[in-house]
Structure 1
């Protein structure tokens, strides 16, 4: 089922997928990574969004909907061309879906300058949380430092003294290390940056073995994190060094790919499959049934984005061309989020709770995340004071 949906999305890369037709149709350009190493993340975000649309009656805000799903190929130039087409030719009302900050940051200025609303399903760059905040930018996922700050808080609570840090060398990775350090005040024994997309960690593992940290916090998205965990375990380090992960590096896609080596890994997320609430339970059940795999935090971000748009468009009375009315309705964020309480700060980034999860194996042998508790309740990012909205 998932392979079929992926093929459909790729075929749809240059055409519209109309869900209904009417004189005033909400047009959304969904630009995400559907091929290469980052494909699993993009597919999860897309599928979560599509399920949110389905749960909203195949409309958003009660109005007809037209979504264009396009693969950005993890290429800023490809993304720029698509975003340009979305704005000038297709005249979309909303752009959303980008996975990586290295793709989003180069295309964001033109989107925002066109008075098109961008809703982020994943990256939350520090610059745009602060001085570069913009009336047309809303972040439905998180600020890049949110989860790393939560894991820094956890590391501090464990009284670790020797911690190594490793991240992919791109905006999200660098900001992750900054976030971790905000809560964990000890000096890192190693601070390693790898190439985005790197899959061989032999050299880094030698360095880690020699520096002998008690724990390592790593921010390696997608296949990068999967390969790192496998190689870390193969090197015999899992019993010597604790792995501290962002939720997206210890989620269901990683669990499927890695298996037992990820058991016992503590990780932080703004969402968990076992959070209480009927809506979250329905999301988990329906996502699993529809796509043949359990949802990840990335899928939850796509779903929340759909529900955020649904509520906002409904509040405007379906006036999808009225940008100011749409922005005002989005700011209120009067929707039920899967993660629990959610509201926008003055910079239009979320105020929400970050949770601690741990990967466990149950009596039947099934591996999955279990909610442990709250790490940062009602957390707001540190950049909002710099925003002049």
Structure 2
């Protein structure tokens, strides 16, 4: 009886010790690497933009010794191919197979919307470093899905205000997909607020670059100004085609991204084009000057708005991690810290609306050589109204 009692007590003590060990382990601070899922295009039309976003994100991490909140950062990278039909499978691979702590992506709005659905359904933290689809921070908004770039409405609206300073009529040209439609709506709202009138909207399917029929129609309509939304490789061809058609000097061209990252390839055809965006070359603030120096030293290239958006995605993620001392299990506390974050961005002050969309200044810029030089601020602290977000 004594032996059985001793054995029972020994087993009870062992069980208690095991439970205590498990309890300590459960509350121990995570020490392994943080997994960052970079779901960005590395091929196709938007490959260069995806590379710049990734470079910006990694630069911030490098500046902090390869760690965020004291934990090493491990990247899991996946080419999204800018293909919405593959987005669900790819996002689920990162979340369920690779168990990433955060999804970073992407450029293409259609792909990003599917990513956001996966993030919402799995309660995975997600930061959008480019795609401006309204639904992401509108009807699809979720506490765990943030954006560090823009809604398509924001630069469109600011460009409309800019164009309305000098012109009363305009025609828009855009790819017929979500980003193009939303950008044009923003331009129309800003232009009409400034007293202008959009005469007609012209479209072509994404990623078609046969612009000539639309340029011929534009020349026939003869508005005072034109607004364009195409991206990536399409920007270069459009600007060159516009100048070759003899329209550059007769119908001033405006856009948001039309000269971003492509001025060298566009050459003289882009000289003097006016744009409005949330970042500009020559922005004289200490954070931007330090960012430019660091980026050039690291990559031997000048940064642009896409690199800034990636950099700020890392900054925002770090703000959440720092609030919980790297404990990614404290997701609610992380999200709250990110919602309340006020970042010192290379673009200027950056904060976030209730819908998790950026609140940011919008700048007027003019293409000069290989730079989009800031001329003034179009609107301060512009927030997307996000009326469909029910958070």
TM-score where L is the length of structure 1: 0.89
Alignment pair present for 1:91 and 2:78: no
Alignment pair present for 1:217 and 2:220: no
What is the alpha-carbon distance in structure 1 between the residues aligned to residue 242 and residue 132 of structure 2?
Answer: 29
- Hey, what does 2:83 align to over in structure 1? 75
What is the alpha-carbon distance in structure 2 between the residues aligned to residue 128 and residue 232 of structure 1?
Answer: 32
What is the alpha-carbon distance in structure 1 between the residues aligned to residue 132 and residue 356 of structure 2?
Answer: 10
Q: Tell me, what secondary structure is at the counterpart of 2:367?
A: strand
1:33-57 Cα offsets, whole Å, 9 max, x none, are 1111111111111111111111122
Q: Tell me, what secondary structure is at the counterpart of 1:300?
A: helix
- Hey, what does 1:187 align to over in structure 2? 197
1:156-183 Cα offsets, whole Å, 9 max, x none, are 121x122110111111110001111111
User: What are the residue-to-residue correspondences of 1:207-356 with 2, within 5 Å?
Assistant: 207-246=217-256, 248-251=257-260, 253-356=261-364
What is the alpha-carbon distance in structure 2 between the residues aligned to residue 273 and residue 161 of structure 1?
Answer: 28
Select the residue among 90, 95, 109 that pairs with 2:117: 109
Alignment pair present for 1:163 and 2:166: no
Is the CA contact 2:259–2:270 (under 8 Å) kept in the aligned structure 1? Answer: yes
Alignment pair present for 1:378 and 2:381: yes
Alignment pair present for 1:35 and 2:37: no
1:305-363 Cα offsets, whole Å, 9 max, x none, are 111112221121111122112111211214321111111111111111111111124xx
What is the alpha-carbon distance in structure 1 between the residues aligned to residue 328 and residue 169 of structure 2?
Answer: 53
Is the CA contact 2:68–2:326 (under 8 Å) kept in the aligned structure 1? Answer: no
Is the CA contact 1:167–1:174 (under 8 Å) kept in the aligned structure 2? Answer: yes
What is the alpha-carbon distance in structure 2 between the residues aligned to residue 231 and residue 143 of structure 1?
Answer: 28
What is the alpha-carbon distance in structure 2 between the residues aligned to residue 175 and residue 35 of structure 1?
Answer: 25
Is the CA contact 2:320–2:338 (under 8 Å) kept in the aligned structure 1? Answer: yes
Is the CA contact 2:42–2:79 (under 8 Å) kept in the aligned structure 1? Answer: yes
- Hey, what does 1:369 align to over in structure 2? 372
- Hey, what does 1:19 align to over in structure 2? none
CA RMSD of aligned residues (A): 1.5
What is the alpha-carbon distance in structure 1 between the residues aligned to residue 65 and residue 339 of structure 2?
Answer: 23
| 1:130 to partner: Cα distance | 2.8
1:31-81 Cα offsets, whole Å, 9 max, x none, are 011111111111111111111111122112221211112111111233322
- Hey, what does 1:120 align to over in structure 2? 128
Is the CA contact 1:46–1:97 (under 8 Å) kept in the aligned structure 2? Answer: no
- Hey, what does 1:133 align to over in structure 2? 141
1:113-139 Cα offsets, whole Å, 9 max, x none, are 101011110123222333332111111
Q: Tell me, what secondary structure is at the counterpart of 2:132?
A: coil
| 1:277 to partner: Cα distance | 2.4
Q: Tell me, what secondary structure is at the counterpart of 1:249?
A: coil
| 1:194 to partner: Cα distance | 1.4
- Rg (Cα) greater in structure: 2
What is the alpha-carbon distance in structure 2 between the residues aligned to residue 131 and residue 72 of structure 1?
Answer: 24
Unaligned 5+ runs, structure 2: 1-29
Is the CA contact 1:147–1:268 (under 8 Å) kept in the aligned structure 2? Answer: yes
Is the CA contact 1:29–1:67 (under 8 Å) kept in the aligned structure 2? Answer: yes
Q: Tell me, what secondary structure is at the counterpart of 1:183?
A: helix
What is the alpha-carbon distance in structure 2 between the residues aligned to residue 131 and residue 85 of structure 1?
Answer: 25
1:78-109 Cα offsets, whole Å, 9 max, x none, are 33222111111111111012101021113321
- Hey, what does 1:175 align to over in structure 2? 182
Is the CA contact 2:116–2:136 (under 8 Å) kept in the aligned structure 1? Answer: no
**Equivalent residue pairs, number:** 359
What is the alpha-carbon distance in structure 2 between the residues aligned to residue 52 and residue 227 of structure 1?
Answer: 33
TM-score where L is the length of structure 2: 0.88
Is the CA contact 1:96–1:121 (under 8 Å) kept in the aligned structure 2? Answer: yes
Moved over 3 A (4+): none
User: What are the residue-to-residue correspondences of 1:40-55 with 2, within 5 Å?
Assistant: 40-55=48-63
Q: Tell me, what secondary structure is at the counterpart of 1:35?
A: coil
| 1:224 to partner: Cα distance | 1.0
Q: Tell me, what secondary structure is at the counterpart of 1:189?
A: strand
Q: Tell me, what secondary structure is at the counterpart of 2:306?
A: helix
Is the CA contact 1:199–1:223 (under 8 Å) kept in the aligned structure 2? Answer: no
Alignment pair present for 1:154 and 2:154: no
